[in-house]
Amino acid sequence: MTTNSHAKPPLAVIGGTGAEGSGLVLRWAAAGYPVIIGSRSREKAETVATELSAELPPGSAPIAGDENAAAAAAGDVVVLSVPYSAQEGTVAQIAAACQGKVVVTVGVPLKPPKVSTVWRPAGGCAAQEAQAQLGDGVRVAAAFQNVSAAHLKDLSYAVECDILVTGDDKEAKAIAIELAAAAGMFGIDAGPLANASVVEGLTALLIGVNIRNKIKSSGIRITGIPRD
């Protein structure tokens, strides 16, 4: 996948049946990326794919569904959008199919019941743990941690917050930034994958802001960067 390619590469969105993943699936398909939703259940993936397809404007790319490993195998880029508690098991299912590819992690480690308090897992953060589990044959970038699922499925909704993208591989980050743009968001290179611990932690902070202000989608925006 390159920024000047004409045909859009297929994306696998593991956990694309969920709140966050389904919004991203819809936006990417609307932007012309064929998407394969990954799920523990092929039937569930196909059902959600059919439901989301009905919401797509004319000219969109197709959305399909399959089991996690098969979906990961079908995607040129794999997006992982599952709860942190499910990450290790899900990564084990897709690891073989991800070798040689870029994996974009969306997940945030949250420790119920204190989901508005920053909590870091033993491996540093969810993205670093995914990278360690997937191995050197996979280039992990972390992105989309701070964008609420609340309005993602409304294609007319202009997302205001920025997407902080971290990773140790430049091309992987460039792909994630390209995917942010395709979904109508502004992606910013936020440094190495170790910095994902800050980005993931911000989500817990934003959940607290949402609760205290009785809103659903607070976000963050970086100032000082020229943008169109």
Ligand X SMILES: NC(=O)c1ccc[n+]([C@@H]2O[C@H](COP(=O)([O-])OP(=O)(O)OC[C@H]3O[C@@H](n4cnc5c(N)ncnc54)[C@H](OP(=O)(O)O)[C@@H]3O)[C@@H](O)[C@H]2O)c1
Q: How many residues sit close enough to ligand X to count as binding (CB under 6 A)?
A: 27
Given 8, 10, 20, 174, the residue binding ligand X (CB under 6 A): 20
- The CA dihedral of 45, 83, 73, 193, to the nearest 10 degrees, is 150
Q: Measured between alpha carbons, how far is 94 from 137 in angstroms, rounded to an integer? A: 13
* Residue 15 CB burial class (10 angstroms; 0-12, 13-18, ≥19): buried
| Strand pairing report for 63-67 and 162-167 | unpaired
Least Å from the CB of residue 81 to ligand X? 4
Given 69, 106, 159, 193, the residue binding ligand X (CB under 6 A): 106
Question: If binding is defined by CB under 6 A, does position 19 make contact with ligand X?
Answer: yes
Q: Measured between alpha carbons, how far is 66 from 74 in angstroms, rounded to an integer? A: 9
Given 31, 61, 149, 161, the residue binding ligand X (CB under 6 A): 149
Within 153-182, the residues that bind ligand X by CB under 6 A are none
Given 10, 12, 15, 218, the residue binding ligand X (CB under 6 A): 15
CA dihedral over 74, 76, 79, 85, signed as positive or negative? positive
Question: If binding is defined by CB under 6 A, does position 187 make contact with ligand X?
Answer: no
Quick one: which segment of 2-10, 40-48, 52-60, 179-187 binds ligand X (CB under 6 A)? Answer: 40-48
Given 10, 34, 107, 187, the residue binding ligand X (CB under 6 A): 107
- What is the full DSSP assignment across 169-221? -HHHHHHHHHHHHHTT-EEEE--SGGGHHHHHHHHHHHHHHHHHHT-S-----
CA angle 19–103–204, rounded 5-degree value: 45
Question: If binding is defined by CB under 6 A, does position 197 make contact with ligand X?
Answer: no
Q: Measured between alpha carbons, how far is 72 from 36 in angstroms, rounded to an integer? A: 8
Question: If binding is defined by CB under 6 A, does position 21 make contact with ligand X?
Answer: yes
Least Å from the CB of residue 142 to ligand X? 10
Quick one: which segment of 3-11, 16-24, 160-168, 187-195 binds ligand X (CB under 6 A)? Answer: 16-24
**Residues binding ligand X (CB under 6 A):** 15, 17-21, 39-41, 44, 81-86, 89-90, 106-108, 110, 145, 147-149, 203
